[in-house]
Structure 1
Amino acid sequence: MDPRQATFPRAARLLRPSQYTGVFARGQKFVCDGFVVIAAENGEEHARLGLALAKRRIRRSVDRSRVKRVIRESFRNVRPDLPATDIVVLARSRTATIDNASLTAQLTRIWQRLARSAQ
């Protein structure tokens, strides 16, 4: 993969509450052990990512930060292959206890399911 494609620019992020609300209102859910991912078409040319990791689900800030890094890295690597969708990732209660390799594997499966569902 070209390193320039594997970036996470501002244009690839959900920034406004209205963008999150739109995904929650019309999105399709993908569920695994660690995450609930909601995705909705966005009318843009590329996928965008939003994170909603509640303190209630992941108590320690160090764990929330670790999970966010894993999600961003996984998304950054597959972003060119994803359809033009807005994606919101929610954490589940057991996410903090899952190791990084397992979280990455779960996200990879979800990205594949998301790509298949858009075809």
Structure 2
Amino acid sequence: MHAQPTGKILPMQRATLVPEARLHSPSEYAAALKGRRIARGAFFVLTLARQGDAGPQALARLGLIIPKRHAPLAVTRNTLKRVVRESFRHVRHGLAPGIYVVRLHAKVPPQSLRSLKTLARAEADTHFKRAAP
């Protein structure tokens, strides 16, 4: 909590993705995976499905597929999701409206979480930069 000069204590605001910017149901993922592949790297494949109704409410949305067979440890899967979400959050307003699905396609080699975060963030940033108009 932050103390304001007036003496009031305000709760800290979190910088997270709003629920409208994420995919929730399997049918949304199925439709999104029929889109075209934008980028492929050492870890991730980025797929984009354009939204048909590009009205004023249209926005860039994110879906993540991090399978257990490629990242057996939960801590690894959660770290990858956190890193990709953070990368997407920084560029979301600069992306064209559509559904962006990031899928882990290769087995994660044994390494420290710090080095994994660095590699995953660099790759995610590169993919989203490539997807920007």
Counterpart in 2 of 1:114? Answer: 131
Distance 2:35 2:105 in 1: 21
1:9 aligns with 2:18: yes
* CA displacement, residues 2-58 of structure 1 (integer Å, 9 cap, x when unaligned): xx9x64000000111111111112333410011011111123521000111100110
Counterpart in 2 of 1:54? Answer: 67
Match of 1:35 among 30, 44, 57: 44
- TM-score (normalised: structure 1): 0.84
How much has 1:109 moved relative to structure 2?
A: 1.0
Structure 2 SS opposite 1:20:
helix
Counterpart in 1 of 2:103? Answer: 90
What is the root-mean-square deviation in Å for CA atoms of aligned residues?
1.9
Distance 2:116 2:131 in 1: 23
Q: For this pair of structures, how many residues does the alignment match?
A: 112
Which structure has the greater CA radius of gyration?
2
Distance 1:95 1:83 in 2: 30
Higher helix share: 1
* One-letter amino acid matched to 2:81: K
Larger relative contact order (Cα-Cα within 8 Å, sequence gap ≥ 6): 1
Distance 1:70 1:83 in 2: 21
